[in-house]
Amino acid sequence: MRHHTSEVGFIVKGRRQRRRRWLIVTSLLIVLLFILCCAMLLLGNTIYPVEVIIRSLMGEEIAGANFAVNTIRLPRMVTGLFAGFAFGVAGYIFQTMLRNPLANPNILGITSGSSVAAVFCITVLHSSNTVVSIAAIIGGLITVTVMYLLSRSQSFSIGRLIIIGIGMQAMLDAVISYLIIKSSQQDIAGALRWLSGSLNGSKMSDVIPLIIITAILTPIIIAFGKQLSMLELGDQMAMSLGVSIDKTRVILIVSSVFLISIATATTGPIAFVSFLAGPIANRLVAASAQNILPAGLVGANLVLLADLVGQFAFEYRFPVGVITGLLGAPYLIYLLIRMNQKGEL
């Protein structure tokens, strides 16, 4: 009896420690995000005092500052924040649910599916930003639906889904290249700027759909955190614990695809954010299906930090996607080497 009591006490103590670590790390990520948001508003060709920034945000007319702060810097900051958060959450869900660090929207081809639809609207239909956003969501949903159907035989296979996703990405990237080759010079410039993943030219009107969808879907995804942790144990164990596997999987996948698609439509495919956010969050907090919020915060921090580096760290300014690509590519190579050594490839 005494031994059983000590075991229970040890488990409760462990839970408290994990909960405390989660709160500390999440709080620090929020503080860092606030600092980066302030830096996005303060830094530029002209560095305005904090007082001027606040007065401008409050609507006071200040010559020069109003345009720089409210028209350029604020939309750029808000877009990077919500896009990074959406990329981080969506990537984390796929990696956790499919129990594979390679299973993220970039590598599975979902981002490419959204990109094909968006590039087609930009280069062929010359559509408005609203139509591009809707098309990107539809493209992402169609891509993941095709992948899911092809990966089902008598049962759902994670390995089969990943292989099909990699093949889909290669095919869709070829379609994107074809669309660009056949486009006019004017359309090519816009498409390439979008494909690089950039916060340049961000507008508050364009980011509103991203804010709304992120605000609606994030609580839904967090509410399914417990079921997500059970899915990690395998389908058989999850079913024995009372989880409706197909329902949970569909809700999480559709929600994540909406997030990744609307973020991609808003900023273009910012490379590797969805790939890096989950592993970083798990390393900071310790692996848990309750790391959805930390993963989103890591994604937002990555995008804002990479954008600041791209703007001010070099002689020439680089899109945020170039900087995140430089960060993510070495990690992908390291991960592939490690998985190969463990015999997981």
* pLDDT (tens digit per residue) in 157-215: 667 777 888 888 888 889 988 888 888 777 777 777 777 788 888 888 888 989 999 99
**CB of 94 within 8 A of CB of 108?**
yes
Give ∠ CA 132-138-139 in degrees, rounded to 5: 85
Q: At what angle do helices 273-285 and 74-97 cross, to 10 degrees?
A: 70
Domain ranges for the chain, please list them.
37-341
Contact yes or no for 40/307 (Cβ under 8 A): yes
Q: Is the pLDDT of residue 85 over 90?
A: yes
- pLDDT surpassing 60 at residue 3: no
Is residue 242's pLDDT more than 70? yes
Cβ(219)–Cβ(283) under 8 Å?
no
Structure token digits, residue 49: 């005092």
Q: What is the token pair recorded at 122?
A: 């930009």
Q: What is the distance between the alpha carbons of residues 279 and 101, in angstroms, rounded to a whole number?
A: 8
What does the pLDDT read at residue 155? 61
pLDDT value, residue 14: 59
Q: What is the reported pLDDT for 13?
A: 63
263-306 pLDDT, tens digit per residue, is 888 888 887 888 888 888 888 887 655 789 999 999 999 999 99
Q: Which residue has the tokens 């340049």?
A: 200
The pLDDT confidence band at residue 2, using thresholds 50, 70 and 90, is low
In the chain, the largest separation of any two C-alpha atoms, in whole Å, equals: 78
Q: Check pLDDT > 80 for residue 235.
A: no
pLDDT per position as a tens digit, 88-121: 999 999 888 877 777 777 777 788 888 888 888 8
DSSP 3-state of 38: helix
81 or 143, greater pLDDT:
81
| CA separation for the pair 123, 151 (Å, rounded) | 32
Spell out the residues 6+ positions from residue 9 whose beta carbon is closer than 8 angstroms to its own.
none
d(CA 270, CA 200): 12
Show the tokens assigned to 245. Answer: 């596997």
Residue 80 has pLDDT above 90, yes or no: yes
pLDDT of residue 306: 92
Residue 315 predicted with pLDDT over 70: yes
- pLDDT (tens digit per residue) in 44-77: 888 888 888 888 888 777 777 788 888 889 999 9
What mean pLDDT is predicted for residues 15-27? Answer: 84
pLDDT of residue 338: 74
> Of 135, 115, 112, nearest to 125 (Cα)?
135
pLDDT of residue 299: 94
Answer yes or no: are the C-beta atoms of 300 and 85 closer than 8 Å: yes
* SS3 label, residue 315: coil
Cα–Cα distances (Å) from 198 to 80, 201, 243, in that order, read 9, 8, 40
pLDDT at 145: 83
Compute CA distances 40 → 217, 260, 273, 289, 316, whole Å: 26, 23, 19, 31, 18
SS3 83: helix
The radius of gyration of the chain from alpha carbons, rounded to an integer in Å, stands at 21
Q: Is the pLDDT of residue 7 over 60?
A: no
C-alpha closest to that of 106 among 256, 282, 229: 256
d(CA 308, CA 123): 29
Q: Tell me the C-alpha distance between 117 and 209, whole Å.
A: 17
**Percent of the chain scored above 70 by pLDDT?**
90
Distance CA 275, CA 302 (A): 11
CATH T-level assignment (fold) for domain 37-341: ABC transporter involved in vitamin B12 uptake, BtuC (1.10.3470)
d(CA 104, CA 276): 9
Nearest-angstrom CA–CA distance, 201 and 322: 17
Residue 344: is its pLDDT beyond 60? Answer: no
Question: Tokens for 20?
Answer: 């405390």
Angle at 259 between CA 256 and CA 263, to 5 degrees: 145
Tell me the pLDDT tens digit for each residue of 23-40.
Answer: 899 999 999 999 999 999
